[in-house]
Chain A
Amino acid sequence: MKRFAYWGGIIVLGLALGVGSAAFMLRLGALDGGYSVGPWKTGTDFGSANADMYTRARVALYGLLALDRKETMYYTASTDDAGKPLSGDCTYVVEGKDLAARWWSVTAYGPDSFLIPNEANVYSFAKTTVKREADGHYIVRVSADRQEGNWLPVKRGQSFDMTARFYNPDAEVSAAPASAELPRITKESCK
């Protein structure tokens, strides 16, 4: 009986520690693969055969079926420029220029990594859909409340994040991910 408890203890404790430490490692850093531009974070090995086992598992969990960086680069922001977590209780101004890619989009996701249900059925803004100012730059308001001009809806009472996708990024961006220009994210007001 004592013997059973001894070996059983080894196995149970080992299992718990093994699964627990795996979950810890996979949650650690979720999709921030190493490079950042303000609050926007990216890695360079998503979807690539060179990815280590942690990156591969994180991609399977948080960004399955990604493309490699010559084809697409993904930058995800879960905070504003001040480093505060993005919240559906606040309105943010997202302002920037065209991303350095053949085609680009910025999409909002809920805490479950799925698109956020909203009355306008709008989930993203993109190179070909965003309304621009006279000089070509854009101003988008991210908010649970309907906004004039460009509006990216999110849900009150829950956190969200945004992923910017560069389809066929310019060579400078894939060579030096930290040099990319991404939109600023500024908190305007909160409820």
Chain B
Amino acid sequence: MKRILTFIVGVAIVAGAVHVATVQALPRVIMAKVMSAIAGDAEVNKFVEMPLATAAARRVVRPSPDLAYSVCILDLSKGAVRVQVPLTGPYTSVALYSSTTDNYFVRNDREAKGKELDVVIVPKGAAPANVPEGTDVVTAPTAKGLVLVRRVVESAEAFPALDEVRKKGTCAPFQG
């Protein structure tokens, strides 16, 4: 009798632990996979301009075909990173994601203080120094993560001009 009870309790404990571990690990595992898929052999802390999504785009689920994405894989282990993003209409946003998929910061063109979105991303526990005026300072919850810039592409004809502007964006280590 006791053996049966131990067996049931044992199975329940193992199942509970595995259940929680699986659900909690999934976002981290998927995010790590996506980051390496997007980055490929690209450098960290540098923007990569993604082509417009088509049926051939199979790296990230449910891509929006009306958005031009730029991605910067963040590695804050050596210090802060600054992101400067020129704006295009009718919508531009800069979103920061942690390595557990949380979206911990987002700004769009309507909230921009000037002609660009300007953000300094600081690792946990580090104090930013000499940050230019008008720049947002954000503390990242994890050292690894990514910056995702979204630009609405109004029509196929509007894309070439927009593409020229987005290439002027920078993601680079920030020496405060």
A residues lining the B interface (CB < 8 Å): 6-7, 9-11, 13-15, 17-19, 21-22, 25-26, 47-49, 51, 53-54, 56-57, 59-68, 70-71, 102-103, 105, 107, 109, 113-118, 121, 123-124, 126, 128-129, 163, 165, 167-168
Q: Are the CB atoms of A56 and B55 closer together than 8 Å?
A: no
CA distance in complex: A5, B66 (Å): 56
Q: Is the Cβ of B102 less than 8 Å from the Cβ of A51?
A: yes
Closest to B98 in A: A49
The reply to whether B19 and A18 form a contact with Cβ atoms under 8 Å apart is yes
**Contact residues in B for A113 (Cβ distance below 8 Å):** 61-62
Whether the Cβ atoms of A9 and B7 lie closer than 8 Å is yes
Cβ–Cβ contact A65 & B11, under 8 A: no
Q: How many A-B residue pairs have CB under 8 A?
A: 166
* Distance between Cα atoms of A64 and B62 in the complex (Å): 8
Secondary structure type dominating chain A contacts: mixed
Main secondary structure of the interface of B (DSSP, over half): mixed
A165 to B152 CA separation, bound complex (whole angstroms): 12
Q: B65 contacts which of A54, A124, A168 (Cβ < 8 Å)?
A: A124
Residue of B nearest to A48 (CB): B103
Min CB distance A144 to B, Å, is: 14
**Known contacts A11-B14, A49-B104, A65-B97, then 4 further A-B pairs from the complex at CB < 8 Å, ordered by chain A residue:** A15-B18, A47-B103, A65-B95, A67-B103
Nearest-neighbour CB distance to chain B for A134, whole angstroms, equals: 22
**What residues make up the interface of B, taking CB atoms closer than 8 Å to A?**
3, 7, 10-24, 26-27, 30-31, 34, 53-58, 60-66, 90-91, 93, 95, 97, 100-104, 106, 108, 110, 141, 148, 152, 154-155
Please, how many angstroms separate the alpha-carbon atoms of A82 and B53 in the complex?
31
Q: Are A6 and B3 in contact (CB under 8 A)?
A: yes
* CB pair A128 B101 closer than 8 Å: no
Of the residues A49, A56, A70, A165, contact of B64 by C-beta under 8 Å:
A165
B23 touches A117 (CB 8 A): no
With contacts A25-B23, A60-B30 known, is A18 near B64, CB below 8 A? no
| Residue from B54, B57, B64 having most chain A Cβ neighbours under 10 A | B64
B15 and A71 within 8 A (CB): no
- Is there an interface contact between B24 and A53, defined as CB atoms closer than 8 Å? yes
Q: Which residues of B contact A59 (CB under 8 A)?
A: 27, 101
26 contacts across the A-B interface (CB closer than 8 A): A14-B12, A14-B18, A17-B11, A18-B17, A18-B22, A19-B22, A22-B18, A22-B19, A48-B102, A51-B102, A60-B31, A63-B61, A63-B62, A65-B34, A66-B103, A68-B103, A71-B93, A102-B91, A114-B57, A114-B63, A115-B63, A116-B55, A123-B55, A123-B65, A165-B64, A168-B91
Chain B residues with CB under 8 A of A47? 101-103
Which of B19, B53, B100, B141 makes the CB contact (< 8 A) with A56? B100
Quick check: B65 and A107 within 8 Å, CB to CB? yes
Closest Cβ neighbor of A167 among chain B residues: B91
Complex: A71 Cα to B104 Cα, angstroms = 12
Asked whether, in the complex, the Cβ of A64 is within 8 Å of the Cβ of B16, the reply is: no
Contact B64 A67 (CB under 8 A): no
Give the residues in chain B near A60, CB-CB below 8 Å. Answer: 26-27, 30-31, 101
Q: How far is the CB of A102 from chain B (nearest CB, A)?
A: 6
Given contacts A14-B11, A61-B30, contact A168 B103 (CB under 8 A): no
What is the bound-complex CA distance between A126 and B154, given in angstroms? 8
Q: Once bound together, how far apart are the Cα atoms of A54 and B19, in whole Å?
A: 11
Max count, chain B CB within 10 A of own CB: residue among A49, A64, A118, A121? A64
